[in-house]
Amino acid sequence: MVAEVPLFKQITDMLASSRSPQELLALKATEAEEQRYQELTQKSHIDLLTSEERNELARFEAVEHIVRMAKIEAYIKLKEH
């Protein structure tokens, strides 16, 4: 099991409390962001990322994790009501 990073949890909680569950569930990346993420992951699979691109991919993945966790909390809130 992966331990939750406390800062991620704090950010997730803050995000979840600042928007309605419906708004959180509708939150998604722009088409340009999705394309860039796909480009980076493809380059990663064939080991062609620069150091800067590795950092960019890591940021994408951190944000994706935070948003996913906030969406899980939003889904749970909707199911409770």
Q: The domain containing residue 64 runs over which residues? A: 6-80
The domain tally of the chain equals 1
Confidence of residue 1 (pLDDT cuts 50, 70, 90): very low
Mean pLDDT of 15-26: 91
Q: Is residue 23 part of a domain?
A: yes
Q: Is residue 19 part of a domain?
A: yes
**Using CA atoms, how far apart are residues 2 and 45, in angstroms rounded to an integer?**
23
The answer to whether 19 and 76 are in contact (CB under 8 A) is: no
Mean pLDDT of 3-20: 83
Q: Is residue 63 part of a domain?
A: yes
Whether residue 74 is predicted with pLDDT greater than 80 in this model: the reply is yes
Predicted pLDDT at 3:
56
**Using CA atoms, how far apart are residues 77 and 81, in angstroms rounded to an integer?**
7
C-alpha distances out from residue 38 to 11, 27, 45, 60, 71, Å: 25, 18, 11, 11, 21
Mean pLDDT of 4-9: 78
